[in-house]
Structure formats: structure tokens, C-alpha cells
């Protein structure tokens, strides 16, 4: 699905802003000098949000997408389908309204324009209209249950609880909610790995990737067979992608057991992760440039004598940092040579190189988002309330 915003609608937006500024007194914007006249406020702005919903938000496209052909245009369609979908609105001052439902695109559009939600979340399609769930409960029949929901993924977590901040242990350019061109490619790599597996390993075709608006990426798998998966089946698919076994206090967060990698992991490693780690991440993030940083990698090596040998070499060769050779690449090649040499008989130790690469590059998912059909997820094209 393509979302097209016409030049005319953009002009309407600008005209509306000019009108808004005039009504509010544009002269007030000139108090601190003429350079302030065209300043756009950082972050979220409720005035802009109302105009965005009125002029640019794709109400009709959202309705067409989430109807999946059940939009009343052919005799066999389920006309109640869209009306059984849950929408959740978060209003100003964190007023939370769940189980909103709409029977038409005009109802959806009018409600959004009227309430001007700071955030819109989308839930499942229920067996009955979610707005009338109490009436069904009073009838004595417990029929209110989710029956369809896109298979969704929330790629996060630069190991805290906030999207790209779950990657803060593998990047040094930014912390917290900050994202730059040096660390955003971690999200790109995650998309490549998950998208390929969803298409090649599970046979899904209708996949929408959406920037969350702050620190992460959301994936909506919209195939009919994906929407009808049970919670158990969703959990199995989510578990297919799981390789993280530790937590933020673990030296070793990745475990790759067995004599050979699973075909999905082997493909991800050879086609995406290894090249990205060695060609981009290693040098861009200076992963081995200082003692503080390389110690984090040495802690992942199970054999203390091997880690000690590398530590000794790197401490003796600090002068290498003054040479033309990238110290990160040089040290990584030394590490690979020692761990993968014929002297290392242990399969686990030779696997350590792959585990290090996976630790720094493999997608980090919020598993709970994918496992449960009734989990809410921020709507695509909805402005993020913390960033605008």
C-alpha cells in the first residue's frame, strides 16, 4: 500500500498554519527578534497535531487496509469486520480510552478529528463489537474474544525496556532515546534479517515496516494466515527468532548450541550480520579501540587463558593506534585467528566469534508484543507523543 500526500494537501497544511498563526497573533513570535519568526517548536505540538489529523492523516487508507476487502463493496464481504476492530486512544493528560470501534471510514475520521488523540493504538478484531462487550457479558455468553490480529514485531531495544536503548551495550555514539546515522543501521540490519525469514522461512508476503517515531521499528505481517494465528503459534514464531539468553548483567547474552548453526541463523550470519559487523560496526563504534571497550568482548570468551593472551597482546600494542591500520580491524583479526585456529579444539570456543557478532548485530525483539493476539501496537502514521 502506498500513501500519497498530494502537493495540494501540503499547501492546505501550510495555509492552515498561516491562518492559525494569524489567529494566535503572529507578532508574539517576533518578540525575541526576526530570527525567531519561522522557528518550529521541537517535539510534540498539539496545534500541529490537530491540523495533521485534519489535512494529512490517511484515514481512508487505514480503513481500506484494515478492512482487508470487507469494505462493503462486494456481496460476500463481512460488513461487521472493521467494526469489530479495537482502536485505543490516548488523549491529553494521559487519558486512556480503550475498545473504540468504528463502522465506517467517516466514523473513524470524525472521532480522530474530534478527540485529537495524542496516540492511537490498534488491537485485534474481536468476535463482537468491542464497544458493546459489556452488553454481551450481561447476556451470560462469554463470546468476547479476539479472532484476528496481524502478526506484529517490535524491534527494539539498543537491554533496557525502550526500543533502540536495548542496543546501548553495543553502541557508543548515542545513549537512551538518541539515534544517529552511526547506530541506525542496526535497525536496518534487523529488518533485513527478520523480513527475509518471514518471507523465505514462513511464506508470508504482505509485510509492512514502520518507524515507531522514536527509537524502534514495528513490523505488521498482514497475510490472512498470519492474522488467524493462535497465541501458541505466535509464540512459536517469536521463539524461532530468539537467540538472546542472558540479561543486561550477563557477560554472554548469546548462546549458539550444536555443532552447526540453524540454517536461518547461518544465512543471517553469512549474508547480513558478519559483513555489517566487520565492514561497518566494528570501526564506526570503535568496539576494540580502548581497554574499557575491548574488555566487554573479552568477557564473552569462555576460556580465561585465551582472553588473557589477547589482553596481553593488546596492552603491549597500544602504539598500533598511532599507525594507519584501523586498530579495531587489527585486533578483531587477532581474535579470530586465535579462536578459530587449529589449536582450539573446543567447538564452543570456535563458535565464540559468531556469538560475538550475533551479540552486537542480531535483532532484539520485544517477544511479548508478538506472542499475544490482544496486544496493542501504535498505529502507523500516528505521531509519536514524545517526539512529535
Residues 58 and 126 in one domain: yes
Name the least confident of 62-71, 97-106, 157-166, 308-317: 157-166
pLDDT for 14? 47
Task: Confirm whether 306 is domain-assigned.
Answer: yes
Residues 349 and 292 in one domain: yes
Residue 129 pLDDT exceeds 80: yes
Task: Confirm whether 162 is domain-assigned.
Answer: no
- pLDDT tens, 216-229? 899 999 999 999 99
Mean pLDDT, the chain, as a whole number?
82
Residues 302 and 355 in one domain: yes
Task: Confirm whether 218 is domain-assigned.
Answer: no
The count of C-alpha atoms lying within 13 angstroms of the C-alpha of 48, restricted to the half-sphere facing its C-beta, is: 13
Indicate if 86 belongs to the active site.
Answer: yes
- What is the number of structural domains in the chain? 2
**Residue 51 structural domain:** 44-149+373-387
Task: Confirm whether 8 is domain-assigned.
Answer: no
Task: Confirm whether 242 is domain-assigned.
Answer: no
- C-alpha to C-alpha distance for 388 and 386, rounded to whole angstroms: 6
Instruction: Catalytic residue, from 154, 168, 354, 355: name it.
Output: 154
Indicate if 271 belongs to the active site.
Answer: no
The size of the chain, in residues, is: 388
- Top pLDDT among 72 and 154 is at 154
Residues 332 and 277 in one domain: yes
Report the DSSP pairing between strands 217-221 and 377-378: unpaired
- C-alpha to C-alpha distance for 68 and 142, rounded to whole angstroms: 26
Residue 9 pLDDT exceeds 60: no
Report the DSSP pairing between strands 85-91 and 119-126: antiparallel
Read off the C-alpha cell for 186: 542496526
Residues 278 and 348 in one domain: yes
Instruction: Catalytic residue, from 86, 121, 168, 366: name it.
Output: 86
Task: Confirm whether 122 is domain-assigned.
Answer: yes
Task: Confirm whether 368 is domain-assigned.
Answer: no
Residues 380 and 284 in one domain: no
Indicate if 35 belongs to the active site.
Answer: no
Residue 267 pLDDT exceeds 80: yes
- pLDDT tens, 375-385? 999 999 999 88
pLDDT for 385? 87
pLDDT grade for 66, boundaries at 50, 70 and 90: very high
Residues 354 and 382 in one domain: no
pLDDT for 342? 63
Task: Confirm whether 344 is domain-assigned.
Answer: yes
- C-alpha to C-alpha distance for 195 and 381, rounded to whole angstroms: 20
Highest mean pLDDT among 18-32, 178-192, 282-296: 282-296
Instruction: Catalytic residue, from 163, 354, 355, 366: name it.
Output: 163
- Top pLDDT among 285 and 43 is at 285
pLDDT grade for 182, boundaries at 50, 70 and 90: confident
pLDDT for 121? 97
Residues 324 and 381 in one domain: no
pLDDT grade for 31, boundaries at 50, 70 and 90: very low
pLDDT for 251? 57
Residue 354 pLDDT exceeds 70: yes
Residues 67 and 144 in one domain: yes
> How much is the average pLDDT of 351-379?
92
Residue 165 pLDDT exceeds 50: no
Residues 145 and 48 in one domain: yes
pLDDT for 72? 75
CA angle 149, 85, 6 (to 5 degrees): 95
> How much is the average pLDDT of 172-200?
84
Residues 294 and 380 in one domain: no
Q: Buried b / exposed e across 253-277, counting CB within 10 Å, b at 16+?
A: bbebeeeebeeebebbbeebbbebb
Amino acid at each position: 500500500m502506498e500513501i500519497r500526500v498530494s502537493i495540494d494537501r501540503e499547501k492546505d497544511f501550510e495555509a492552515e498554519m498561516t491562518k492559525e498563526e494569524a489567529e494566535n497573533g503572529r507578532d508574539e513570535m517576533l518578540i525575541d527578534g526576526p530570527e525567531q519568526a519561522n522557528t518550529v517548536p521541537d517535539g510534540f505540538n498539539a496545534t500541529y497535531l490537530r491540523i495533521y489529523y485534519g489535512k494529512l492523516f490517511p484515514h481512508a487508507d487505514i480503513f481500506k487496509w484494515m478492512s482487508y476487502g470487507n469494505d462493503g463493496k462486494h456481496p460476500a464481504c463481512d460488513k461487521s469486520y472493521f467494526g469489530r476492530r479495537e482502536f485505543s486512544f490516548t488523549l491529553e493528560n494521559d487519558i486512556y480510552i480503550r475498545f473504540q470501534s468504528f463502522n465506517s471510514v467517516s466514523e473513524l475520521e470524525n472521532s480522530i478529528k474530534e478527540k485529537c488523540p495524542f496516540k492511537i493504538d490498534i488491537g485485534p478484531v474481536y468476535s463482537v463489537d468491542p464497544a458493546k462487550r459489556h452488553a454481551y457479558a450481561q447476556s451470560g455468553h462469554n463470546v468476547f474474544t479476539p479472532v484476528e490480529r496481524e502478526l506484529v514485531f517490535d524491534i527494539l531495544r539498543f537491554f533496557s525496556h525502550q526500543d533502540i536503548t536495548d542496543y546501548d551495550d553495543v553502541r557508543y555514539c548515542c545513549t537512551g532515546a538518541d539515534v544517529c546515522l552511526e547506530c541506525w543501521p542496526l535497525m536496518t540490519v534487523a529488518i533485513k534479517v527478520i523480513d527475509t525469514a518471514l518471507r523465505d522461512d514462513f511464506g508470508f508476503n504482505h509485510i509492512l515496516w514502520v518507524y515507531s517515531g522514536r527509537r524502534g521499528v514495528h513490523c505488521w505481517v498482514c497475510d490472512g494466515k498470519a492474522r488467524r494465528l493462535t497465541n501458541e503459534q505466535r509464540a512459536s514464531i517469536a521463539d524461532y527468532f530468539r537467540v538472546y539468553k542472558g540479561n543486561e548483567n550477563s557477560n554472554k547474552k548469546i548462546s549458539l548450541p550444536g555443532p552447526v548453526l540453524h540454517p536461518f541463523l547461518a544465512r543471517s550470519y553469512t549474508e547480513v550480520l558478519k559483513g555489517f559487523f566487520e565492514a561497518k560496526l566494528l570501526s564506526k563504534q570503535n568496539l576494540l579501540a580502548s581497554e574499557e571497550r575491548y574488555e566487554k568482548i573479552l568477557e564473552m570468551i569462555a576460556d580465561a587463558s585465551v582472553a588473557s593472551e589477547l589482553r596481553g597482546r593488546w596492552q603491549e600494542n597500544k602504539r598500533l593506534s598511532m599507525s594507519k591500520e584501523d586498530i579495531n580491524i587489527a585486533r578483531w583479526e587477532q581474535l579470530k585467528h586465535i579462536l578459530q585456529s587449529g589449536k582450539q579444539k573446543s567447538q564452543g570456543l570456535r563458535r565464540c566469534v559468531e556469538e560475538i557478532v550475533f551479540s552486537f548485530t542480531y535483532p532484539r525483539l520485544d517477544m511479548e508484543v508478538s506472542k499475544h493476539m490482544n496486544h496493542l501496537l501504535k498505529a502507523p502514521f500516528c505521531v509519536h507523543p514524545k517526539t512529535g
